[in-house]
Amino acid sequence: MDSNVILYLLIIYFSVANIDAASKKNAFVGFANKFDHKKTFNRSTSSLSNSISRDECNLPDELTEEISRYKPIVEGIINASVNGIFKKRTWRTLARFVDKFGSRIAGSDNLENSIDYMVDLLKKNQLENVHTEPALVPKWVRGRESCWLVSPRLEKLSILGLGSSIGTPAKGITAHAVVVESFEELQKLGKVVEGKIVVFNEPFISYEKTVKYRGYGAIEAAKLGAVATLIRSVTPFSIDSPHTGWQHYQENVTQIPTAAISIEMAETLQRMYQAGDDILIYLYMEARNLPPVMSRNTVGEITGHQHPEKVVVVSGHLDSWDVGQGAMDDGGGAFISWNALALLKVLGLRPRRTLRSILWTAEEEGLVGAAAYFHDHRNNTAAFDFVMESDEGTFQPLGLSFSGSSEAGCILKEILKLMHPLNATQFASPMDGGPDIEFFTNIGIPGAALLNANERYFWYHHSNGDRMTVEDPTNLDMCTALWAASAFVVADLSIDMPR
């Protein structure tokens, strides 16, 4: 650990807003609070309608012509990825990766070993300037957990403790339950909640509208004296499958254990409650928050031949939850990101600006790796020309969602026309599905996320079902192609992306 790292640690600790010295041990909880969970950012306002309409675009003819001249290069990239030497390569490398390491939660040996593996792999694939950059990350450990319905009859529940939750006492918690559908219903119960386990059976509206129950359910229930909470998993579909995810505690509110249960069981408990059954539940969780540990963002590049100091970022996050394999969230995003560069390297395509693949760490705990990276590069943000991330699935690619200036949006639209062979020419705004790069887009750096046919994304998200079976080789090839081609053209344009 050198002095830079120590300085970094100090900066991270004291740059966290709203966290006083007394709550330092909960710094990461506050940190997560500040940035909240990735998918809560823009989704509610995102749409496929163009915020920059076609009429508003009035690119100079020379620029339009310049972009159109990339057509044969883009076609070459697409061919190589979908039918050529990279055919099925993203799927194959991803499968080997997730099979070898399994899930990769922040703070785990699995994640750190997988980062070492990626550094080797990027080097083997001739990426340039391969290195890692440090980030201090939370270490939450699930331990064993179980939950039983004791009354009105005995049944084991499928549960997943929520990230950052504390455990139960060693003998578990046995308590009667109340079941509510909303925070409003909870408030109405008032004193009745005291000493009870609160079961939330909130209906699934959309991820961003429903996730507050996972994020803040334990706080609201604890305020009324609840001893634990069980949250209906935030998903539109279930085969008795619980979904984990980060949750928050609040200063001066008692921390209580909290876990996700399946849609099916939440509905069952609510029916029992409404029928007047006396519901008794036993909950046992060994979950613990350990001191934060060092992790790393993984970086590999193709150095620009004209403006090596200017950077186009192509990224996904390497960490995952500690269930399933993290193949979809976000193995796919990470693997199309480095494979895009590996493909360009094999094709001998070196753009004017530097292409930088970043595999973020500890996204799931509140964009922790990306926050550290942004912090470390905060005095050099002028260097970032364009930022890209894929973190909402790598199903069939449809195009890109974008945030940034109208001018940059118009350029991106023009570039997307080249993606016709992939049938992936859609442009949407604002950006949706690039949580880690929002540090950059929030200060006006233009950025894009992968638009893809991810209707079933939340079926698997943060569950044991996030495994390689979700990923399709051809879709991954197409995503890699779109990713490589659009990043290359942006990085090679005669002009910077306008802010």
160 is an interface residue for a copy of itself by CB under 8 A: no
Pick the piece of the chain touching a copy of itself (CB under 8 A) from 64-72, 98-106, 195-203, 373-381. Answer: 98-106
**70 or 460, CB closer to a copy of itself?**
460
181 is an interface residue for a copy of itself by CB under 8 A: no
Residues 6+ apart with CB under 8 A from 230: 147, 157, 159, 177, 197, 198, 199, 200, 258, 259, 260, 261, 266, 269, 281, 283
Pick the piece of the chain touching a copy of itself (CB under 8 A) from 96-104, 250-258, 341-349, 487-495. Answer: 96-104
488 is an interface residue for a copy of itself by CB under 8 A: no
Helices (H), 199-262: 207-210, 212-223
Pick the piece of the chain touching a copy of itself (CB under 8 A) from 79-87, 280-288, 358-366, 466-474. Answer: 466-474
In angstroms, the CA 89 to CA 79 distance is 13
153 is an interface residue for a copy of itself by CB under 8 A: yes
CB of 151 to a copy of itself, least distance (A): 12
Write the binding mask 468 to 487 for a copy of itself: x where contact by CB under 8 A, - elsewhere: xx------------------
For the CA atoms of 364, 367, 369, 374, the dihedral, rounded to the nearest 10 degrees, stands at: 170
**241 or 298, CB closer to a copy of itself?**
241
**87 or 307, CB closer to a copy of itself?**
87
Closest CA to 30 of 41, 15, 19, 14: 19
**272 or 450, CB closer to a copy of itself?**
272
239 is an interface residue for a copy of itself by CB under 8 A: yes
Q: Are 366 and 32 in contact (CB under 8 A)?
A: yes
Q: What are the DSSP calls for 87-152, one per residue?
A: TTHHHHHHHHHHHHH----TT-HHHHHHHHHHHHHHHHTT-EEEEEEEEEEEEEE---EEEEEEES
For 82, 383, 396, 452, 489, the CA distances from 422, given in Å and listed in that order, are 9, 31, 9, 12, 16
**44 or 113, CB closer to a copy of itself?**
113
CB of 241 to a copy of itself, least distance (A): 4
CA 359 to chain CA centroid, nearest Å: 11
267 is an interface residue for a copy of itself by CB under 8 A: yes
Pick the piece of the chain touching a copy of itself (CB under 8 A) from 128-136, 147-155, 375-383, 427-435. Answer: 147-155
CB of 460 to a copy of itself, least distance (A): 7
Write the binding mask 314 to 353 for a copy of itself: x where contact by CB under 8 A, - elsewhere: ----------xx----------------------------
Q: Are 360 and 313 in contact (CB under 8 A)?
A: no
List 448's β-bridge partners, or say none. 388, 402
CB of 452 to a copy of itself, least distance (A): 20
CA 133 to chain CA centroid, nearest Å: 19
**232 or 310, CB closer to a copy of itself?**
232
* Catalytic sites, residue numbers: 363
**270 or 486, CB closer to a copy of itself?**
270
Binding site for a copy of itself (CB under 8 A): 95-96, 99-102, 152-153, 155, 158, 238-241, 263-265, 267-268, 271-272, 275, 324-325, 459-460, 463-465, 467-469
